Amino acid sequence: MKFNYKELGLVSLQWNSTFEGILLCKQKTESRRKKGFVFSEHWCRLKGNILILCRNSDRKCSEIEGLIFLERFTVSPTNEAEAPYAFKLEFDSGDSPIVLVARSGPEAEMWCQHLRDAQLCPTLERIAVIREELKNLTGSDPLETAVSTSPESKQATADDEVMGSTDVRGLELSLSCENLTSEFVASGEVPNVHIIVSVCTPPESGWKRVGTTEVVENCNNPKYLKTIYLRSDMITDKTRVQFSLMDLRDLKSSMGFHLGVVVTMAELLATNPCIELPVCDPNNGKALPCRSSSLSSGPRLFIRSRKHRPGDGRKAPIDSGLAVLNAVCDNLLSKRYSFQHTLGERMHVVEFMGESKLCFDFPIEYLKLIVQREHLLCDSLSRAGSSNPLVESLRKERLISMKQNLDQYEACLRHLVDCSGIRFKPSGDRYNTRLDFVPTNLHVNQIALTDWDGQIVSSHTVVSVGVFSVASRLYKAGGLFRQAADTIIGSVPYPPTRLSVCTLGSQSPVASAACLLENTLAGQSNALLYRGTSSMAMLRADLMGLVQRLSARDQAEPLAERIQRSFSSMQRILADPLLKCLNNSTNGVDSYFNTLLGLLTQLSKLDREEQSQRSSPQRAQLTAGNTQIAPVQGRAQLLVSIEKVGTRLIQCLDKAWDEAAEFLWTNIFTELMTLLGSDQAPREPVGGGSTTNASASSFLITEAERVACSNSTLSVDNPLQAVSVIFDAFSYRHHACLCQALTALLTALSVAVPSWNRTRWEQMTVCGLLAQFEGLISCFGNELGMIEDWAWSVGRLGSIRIILRPSTELSKDSGSRSDGGFSPKAKLTALNECELTVPWSAWTGAPTEIQARGRVRLHVHPVAFLVGINEQQSIAEKIDKAALQQSVNSQGLESIEAYFERYTKHYGAPPQSVSNQDVCDLIASIRHLIAPPTRSKPVELLELASEVTQAFGGLRFTSCKSAKDRTAMSVTLEQIRWLQKSEGMHTNDFLPALKCLRSTGLRLENAMKNAGVRKYAFNRLQLLSFPKLYRPPVGTYSPGVIS
């Protein structure tokens, strides 16, 4: 426990102490002259359960010598030879006893009595006993806040139904009431009623809650939009269903009372599509009377039910129902609603939310490749060298730093592989270093329209995910864009007009090398190193074990093809224009390879001849006596020759590649050392002391300490070490953020591909995969660094190619359109290329030419738009610090215009949006919102960008810091807008439906997963700065929830 002793000493002079006086305190002395115990005199003040010992015996002393917290202790007199009026304090915690001495016997007794009465624990224990006794007598605790007056109303905070989405056989109930009045409500007031539904199936005697509706405020005749779904495994013909009507008097605390109850049989609900039942008194079971002369009858409950019927599995494709979501998601949840259509009918809606199966699987694959490549690079660097002392010093620093970075990658990989149970990263684990590569709170959110039988007709999907960032590394040096800008040679304005990764990254040697930007020397050299070390590792593995592999028959031909592919890749690398000065060293390589290929061809021919002889028994008997030994001897001689040539080939390749790798490492180090200042001449031998620019060296050391501030054990003491630390910190952050973004992208793509028709396949192949990312992060505090990480990773997705191929797990000739058991698999085949499997039924919808190739490569076209909506964004706008948001949106506008131009070039005008507007008009509106003067929180921009994305059939992503609170407001708003604009929901139901979805929908389940409570993490003052459509309903938020 921490105290401010100076202030406490001054305050203790002014408070009304319980008891004061002089006490002697027994203390141990370590003096050389005298070892033992001494008694020091202090003025002591007792206030409550705190005893203060002043430094001397002066009554007005304000300097504190010590403080004793008086809880869970006993005080008793003790016999001290040197002090007759002593007493001892003994603590239950096991702390050393404290001996105090009074000046007289009566004074010692008074001190003991006051000290006994000081502790609060006995009083608190007695209060707890009394509360428990009162609770047993009355059924409620009088000290609990926001308590309902009936036990049933306490269930309002219990778990709502979380329906298993795989159950398509059930009963859906739509509820409404009439003539609701209560004797507990004051005259003229209208009740705020919601209904809790419970079931009881014999032989069970207790009621089990299965669902609740939303609260309809100030209404005598409420119609509920939230429907109750009774699963088939919950009900039988003998099941009783209870409807408890709860009137909430205080929406913030959910305090209310039991208005009435209705009990009926499940069989009656299943056989009658509409039932009208009287509301009964919960105490005596009698129907509630009519309490108003203007009403014709008492309170009534109307129940409309409809049965869900499963579709024909032989005819229903995977993209028409729940199979896609079940294949892509774990823990898939759903809830159902009934909204009013513009034509007057009811439209039945189902909401889905699930965790991505790729959440941990893809980061594991990503880390495996990174660890493998880093091992190869580390091995290559250890064999390289330089005659330049400065370059050699940087090489050694890089080698040390690379090994430390590699240890961090391996630790993350081990943790993810060892994880068991729920493979999901809640928002509270953002600072967990071992989960840096896992996206935060990644969920698939889908709203779907169903027909009368409960089958999905149309749907809209949004992927919600926490901002792509590395919170465990902190933001003292900003995010990736800030760090890249800080390592640019020369002064550049930040943020630039457009926040482009290629433009800003190519100016920074650190960013260009870490991201393999091939338009720069450092990036191109590092890319060649990555590809070359990988190809050399494959060639070395094939050539070192030739004899063992060729000992089996019929292995020569496939091995020759494999070696030829690897060698061709190596040839292309060594023939790169950057390495043209090294071409003379590869002459011997080509000759040895051609010789090896000829020997393997001879061996393959010999194996085929032996196979043909064994397949013809008569011919084998005629030639057995003459030619039995010759082929064996010929094969043995060939294997010896192959081994010799293979050894010479690998030696020549090693020599050629080591020379090339040393040249490439020198290029990278030369570019990195430009950060040391203009006084350096790294290409010439440098002798004597370092000639680094003093100001540049100081800046680099400071920057390295900032980027590595999360590592308290790291000490940076020279500029070369600083360069290495900055490079590895940037590289780690880049890979972690990009891995998170790729995981979210592949999840959304897995859900979208099964719904593509032939036209959509062609569009994605020609124009690229449009992925629109929406950010709700503010330009203030740590969230500024999060924006820089998020925007960088989204921009880097533009260099990623995704290869789609059909899953081989299912039979291709079965003729079935059902892909039960399919699970998407994704892996990283190169640092800029991913591979994703799609269900066979979805693959058959692709054009014939794509199916014939067996795979298709898609380019990602990312678009990012950012609008901060909370109070921190208001502060940023007040102090004119929202320029980063403008830069992100300007780059997003350019990206979406580029996609529009590419689409119109090949296909003409795109289809109209869900609001029946031309896409070109929507883009013009976006341009108008982004153009100066800067507008405050232009959330209309997000709506327009979403409509453009839907018109192009793109993927939609929404992010905030935790993807829990602000994201929930955005996702629900977009879902209701889609229902209104695309599916014809009545305008009058827009706000009630939005409130219903936020107060009873699955986004509250998401808050429960992450924070342990069904509340959004907002406070009333914060919500005043939110745009109106982004504010949650009263009673659904709390300031004490973890954000």
Can you give 135-192 as a three-state secondary structure string? HHHHCCCCCCCCCCCCHHHHHHHCCCCCEECCCCCEEEEEEEEECCCCCCCCCCCCCC
Task: Give dist(CA 939, CA 455) in Å, integer.
Answer: 34
Look at residue 817 and tell me whether its pLDDT is greater than 50: no
Question: Please, which residues bridge with residue 307 across strands?
Answer: 171
Look at residue 498 and tell me whether its pLDDT is greater than 50: yes
pLDDT value of residue 821: 63
Answer whether 46's CB lies under 8 Å from 18's CB: yes
DSSP letters, 671-731, are HHGGGG-TT--TTS---SS----HHHHHHHHHHHHHHTTT-TT----SHHHHHHHHHHHHH
Average pLDDT over residues 290-312: 79
Task: Give dist(CA 564, CA 649) in Å, integer.
Answer: 13
pLDDT value of residue 145: 39
**Any idea which of 21-25, 308-312, 344-348, 462-466 has the lowest mean pLDDT?**
308-312
**pLDDT band at 162, cuts 50/70/90?**
low
pLDDT value of residue 579: 86
**Any idea which of 614-618, 652-656, 1005-1009 has the lowest mean pLDDT?**
614-618
Look at residue 448 and tell me whether its pLDDT is greater than 50: yes
- The segment(s) of the chain belonging to CATH 1.20.120 are 527-615+635-676
- Tell me phi and psi for residue 154, to 5 degrees: -65, -20
Task: Give dist(CA 102, CA 41) in Å, integer.
Answer: 10
Look at residue 677 and tell me whether its pLDDT is greater than 90: no
Task: Give dist(CA 741, CA 796) in Å, integer.
Answer: 9
pLDDT value of residue 649: 87
Please list, in sequence order, all residues whose beta carbon lies within 8 angstroms of the beta carbon of residue 1034, skipping any fewer than 6 positions away.
251, 252
**Any idea which of 233-237, 489-493, 633-637, 700-704 has the lowest mean pLDDT?**
633-637
Give the model confidence (pLDDT) of 202-212 as tens digits. Answer: 888 788 999 99
User: Mean pLDDT, the chain, as a whole number?
Assistant: 86
Q: Which two tokens stand for residue 666?
A: 């020198």
Give the model confidence (pLDDT) of 370-421 as tens digits. Answer: 999 999 999 999 988 777 888 889 899 999 999 999 999 999 999 999 987 7
Answer whether 652's CB lies under 8 Å from 589's CB: yes
**Any idea which of 245-249, 250-254, 667-671 has the lowest mean pLDDT?**
250-254
pLDDT value of residue 132: 77
Q: Which two tokens stand for residue 997?
A: 């979805």
Hey, how many other C-beta atoms are within 10 angstroms of the C-beta on 872? 19
Look at residue 575 and tell me whether its pLDDT is greater than 50: yes
Torsion of CA 656, 659, 663, 668, to 10 degrees: 90
**pLDDT band at 742, cuts 50/70/90?**
very high
- The segment(s) of the chain belonging to CATH 2.60.40.150 are 151-308
With 0.95 as the threshold, say if the pTM is over it.
no
pLDDT value of residue 30: 59
Residue 196 CA, distance from chain mean position: 33
Q: Which helix (H) or strand (E) holds 744?
A: helix 719-752
CATH topology of domain 5-123: PH-domain like (2.30.29)
pLDDT value of residue 679: 42
**pLDDT band at 119, cuts 50/70/90?**
confident
- Measured between alpha carbons, how far apart are the two ends of the chain, in Å? 26
Rg (CA), the chain: 37
Answer whether 240's CB lies under 8 Å from 263's CB: yes
Tell me which of 286 and 775 has the higher pLDDT: 775
Give the model confidence (pLDDT) of 904-933 as tens digits. Answer: 999 999 998 888 899 999 999 999 999 988
pLDDT value of residue 684: 37
Look at residue 710 and tell me whether its pLDDT is greater than 50: yes
pLDDT value of residue 694: 74
Answer whether 235's CB lies under 8 Å from 171's CB: yes
- Helix 556-574 × helix 521-544 angle, to 10°: 160
Hey, how many other C-beta atoms are within 10 angstroms of the C-beta on 4? 9
Look at residue 187 and tell me whether its pLDDT is greater than 60: no
Average pLDDT over residues 630-641: 71
**Any idea which of 82-96, 295-309, 314-328 has the lowest mean pLDDT?**
314-328
**pLDDT band at 689, cuts 50/70/90?**
very low
Look at residue 314 and tell me whether its pLDDT is greater than 50: no
Out of 1.10.3470, 1.10.10, 1.10.1740, 1.20.120, which CATH number does the structure's domain 527-615+635-676 have? 1.20.120
Amino acid type, 817? R
**Any idea which of 406-410, 509-513, 709-713, 906-910 has the lowest mean pLDDT?**
709-713
pLDDT value of residue 241: 95
Percent of the chain with pLDDT over 90: 52
**pLDDT band at 182, cuts 50/70/90?**
low
Give the model confidence (pLDDT) of 520-545 as tens digits. Answer: 999 999 999 999 999 999 888 888 87
Task: Give dist(CA 677, CA 699) in Å, integer.
Answer: 10
**Any idea which of 31-35, 193-197, 367-371 has the lowest mean pLDDT?**
31-35
**Is the CATH code 2.60.40.150 the one for domain 151-308?**
yes
Percent of the chain with pLDDT over 70: 88
CA angle 385, 388, 394 (to 5 degrees): 65
Give the model confidence (pLDDT) of 77-94 as tens digits. Answer: 887 777 788 999 988 877
Give the model confidence (pLDDT) of 743-756 as tens digits. Answer: 999 999 999 999 99
- The segment(s) of the chain belonging to CATH 2.30.29.30 are 5-123
Q: How many helices (H) and strands (E) does the chain have?
A: 31, 26
